[in-house]
Amino acid sequence: MIEPVYIMLPLIALAAFVLKAATGFGPAIVVIALGSLLMAPQEVIATSSILDMTAGALLLLMDRPRGKLGFWLALSAAIVSGAVIGGLLIITIPERWFDWIFAVAIFVLGVWFIFGRGRTADNGGLVDELPSRCDAADLGMTFFGGFCGGLFGISGPPILWQFGRKFAKHAFRQTLIPIFFAAALARTVTYASTGLVTGQVLLYVLAALPGLLLGIYLGNKVFFRLSETWFNRVAGVVLIVVAIQLVF
């Protein structure tokens, strides 16, 4: 008999990577929140990291960023260094803390989607042209996001807040995809070095791949067709529901 985790993982990956392709972020939130109901916390974090790395590579091929190399390299260095430090510390966090940490982070992000990013999505102040260089706040929040991602598997909240209030839809996604790919790659290498990438984790990754591929395909179509404002509102409600489910 097939274990429920192998049936649910493709569906979880489908939802997670529709969100990833449509916005440039979010898969770890869905994979970790729902996967933690089926898998051990450290296993789900390692699985999520490998899947995020795979999806990031695919999206880079589909929507190759042009120019602004210095901007992305600086942010990638910041998120990678944070991810490595957080990834090395992951084994020090008691497992009983994981659900509460994830729930709080996911709930806050969901509220921000509805009342923050959701409101500013149509703001004429958001720009769709990336700068040639990043500032100290960009680097600091990106490093902090990488640290959170390495330690808890979720790097999004500080990075999304920093760049979500600055960039319009396309520039926002083109900022996130390269730096989140770099972070996922760094986390995966770090987790492998600490023994978290096991044969069981690789089986979980293989089970989730069909959902990932379909999610990337559908999410990329959503990116060009769905209203950013409404998508953010729906995503915010979903995230809040997931956070409440984790607690109760």
pLDDT tens for each residue of 155-214? 777 887 788 778 877 888 888 898 889 889 988 998 999 899 999 999 999 999 999 999
Q: In this structure, what token pair is assigned to residue 59?
A: 């999206």
Around Cβ 233, how many Cβ atoms within 10 Å?
18
Collapsed DSSP state (helix, strand, coil) of residue 24: coil
List the domain range (segments joined by +) for residue 40.
4-247
The whole-model pTM stands at: 0.81
Angle at CA 62, nearest 5°, toward 57 and 64?
80
Q: In this structure, what token pair is assigned to residue 156?
A: 């999004």
Task: Tell me the pLDDT of the chain averaged across its residues.
Answer: 84
Most confident segment among 34-48, 88-102, 153-167: 34-48
Most confident segment among 62-76, 97-111, 131-145, 205-219: 205-219
- Segment among 41-50, 63-72, 122-131 with least mean pLDDT: 122-131
- The confidence band for 151, taking pLDDT boundaries of 50, 70 and 90, is confident
Between CA 246 and CA 239 the distance in angstroms is 11
Split into its structural domains, the chain has a count of 1
